[in-house]
């Protein structure tokens, strides 16, 4: 995820478009430098640029797969932390469990954003997305499972009767040893 963000460069302020292939020099205020002809460049570079585009697409899809696999490391890390936290309820274990629940949820919410930089007509993002979602769901399941081992899920009868007030009695009897 982190890496994905870095590549995306969301905060881009300016850019030089090297692949500017407009042929009309008049559209520019500045004349082309002497000896520079646009047409020749275009013709020479068309194969090169296609190659470049392919490489970029490749790179993007590779990165997308990387990003999609990132939660797996997280999952391992979380598992280790949970094992460390033990199965008793206290602040530490609760904190870990809730972060284990929150991370996948927030990641799932931002699936589109995570893969936005790799959006390309040529790149198929469905595979990485599915993997990403699956891994995060796995993380979520791990969190829920942890919650259950901590006894914080109402899955037992005891959770539903613990504050059940005593049944009312029909009869009333009083008395004792005479005064």
Partner 1 sequence: MAIMSFIFVFFFFSSLQPILSLYEDQVGLMDWHQQYIGKVKQAVFHTHKTGRKRVVASTEQNIIATLDLRRGEIFWRHVLGPNDVVDGIDIALGKYVITLSSGGSILRAWNLPDGQMVWESSLHGPKHSKPLLLTRNLIIEKDNVLIVFSNGRLNAVSCIDGEVLWKKDFEEESLEVQQVIQPPGSGFIYVLGFAASSQFEMYKINAKNGELLKHESTAFSGRFTGEVSLVSSETVVALDSTGSILLTISFHNGKISSQQTPVSNLLEDSPGLAVIIHPSVTGIFAIKTDAATIFIRVIGEGKLEVVEKTNHETVVSDALSISEGQQAFALVQHAGSSIHLTVKPAHDWDSNLLKESIKMDQQRGFVHKVFINNYIRTDRSHGFRALIVMEDHSLLLLQQGAIVWSREDGLASIIDVTTSELPVEKAGVSVAKVELNLFEWLKGHVLKLKGTLMLATPEDIAAIQHMRLKSSEKSKMTRDHNGFRKLLIALTRAGKLFGLHTGDGRIVWSHLLQSLHKSESCRQPIVLNLYQWQVPHHHALDENPSVLVVGRCGPSSDALGVLSLVDSYTGKEFSSLSLVHSVAQVIPLPYTDSTEQRLHLLIDADKHAHLYPKTPEAIDSFQSEFSNVYWYSVDDDNGIIKGYALKTKCSSNVADEFCFDSRELWSIVLPSESEKIITTATRKLNEAVHTQAKLIADQDVMYKYISSNLLFVATVAPKASGEIGSVTPEESWLVVYLIDTVTGRVLHRMTHHGSQGPVQAVLSENWVVYHYFNLRAHRYEMSVIEIYDQSRADNKDVWKLVVGNHNLTSPVSSYSRAEVITKSQSYFFTHSLKAIAVTLTVKGITSKQLLIGTIGDQVLALDKRFLDPRRSVNPKQAEREEGIIPLTDSLPIIPQSYITHSLRVEGLQSIITVAAKLESTTLVFAHGLDLFFTHYAPSRTYDSLTEDFSYALLLITIVVLVAAIFVTWILSQRKELQDRWR
Binding site for partner 1 (CB under 8 A): 84, 88, 90-92, 151, 154-179
Closest approach of partner 1 to the CB of residue 158, in Å: 4
Closest approach of partner 1 to the CB of residue 142, in Å: 19
Task: Please state, as a whole number, how many other Cβ atoms lie within 10 Å of the Cβ of residue 104.
Answer: 24
Tell me how far apart the alpha carbons of residues 143 and 158 are, in angstroms, rounded to a whole number: 22
Closest approach of partner 1 to the CB of residue 96, in Å: 10
Q: Toward partner 1, which CB reaches closer, 20 or 171?
A: 171
Tell me how far apart the alpha carbons of residues 26 and 4 are, in angstroms, rounded to a whole number: 40
Q: Toward partner 1, which CB reaches closer, 47 or 164?
A: 164
Q: Toward partner 1, which CB reaches closer, 16 or 167?
A: 167
Closest approach of partner 1 to the CB of residue 164, in Å: 6
Closest approach of partner 1 to the CB of residue 169, in Å: 6
Contact of 18 with 85, CB cutoff 8 Å: no
Q: Which long-range contacts (CB under 8 A, 24 or more apart) does 145-151 make?
A: 146/82, 146/93, 146/96, 146/97, 146/100, 147/97, 147/101, 149/87, 150/87, 150/88, 150/89, 150/93, 150/94, 150/97, 151/89
Q: Toward partner 1, which CB reaches closer, 11 or 174?
A: 174
Q: Toward partner 1, which CB reaches closer, 122 or 156?
A: 156
Tell me how far apart the alpha carbons of residues 97 and 79 are, in angstroms, rounded to a whole number: 10
Task: Please state, as a whole number, how many other Cβ atoms lie within 10 Å of the Cβ of residue 146.
Answer: 25
């Amino acid at each position: 995820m982190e890496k994905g963000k870095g590549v995306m460069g969301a905060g881009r302020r300016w850019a030089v478009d090297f692949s500017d292939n407009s042929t009309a020099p008049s559209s520019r205020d500045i004349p082309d430098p002497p000896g520079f002809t646009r047409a020749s460049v275009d013709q020479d570079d068309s194969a090169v640029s296609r190659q470049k585009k392919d490489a970029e697409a490749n790179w993007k899809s590779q990165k997308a797969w990387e990003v999609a696999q990132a939660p797996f490391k997280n999952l391992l890390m979380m598992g280790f932390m949970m094992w460390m936290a033990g199965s008793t309820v206290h602040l530490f274990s609760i904190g870990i469990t809730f972060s284990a629940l929150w991370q996948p949820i927030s990641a799932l919410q931002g699936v589109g954003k995570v893969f936005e930089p790799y959006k390309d007509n040529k790149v198929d993002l469905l595979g990485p997305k599915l993997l990403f979602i699956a891994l995060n769901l796995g993380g979520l399941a791990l969190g829920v499972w942890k919650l259950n081992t901590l006894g914080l899920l109402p899955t037992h009868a005891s959770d539903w009767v613990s504050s059940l007030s005593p049944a009312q009695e029909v009869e009333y009897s009083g008395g004792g040893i005479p005064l």
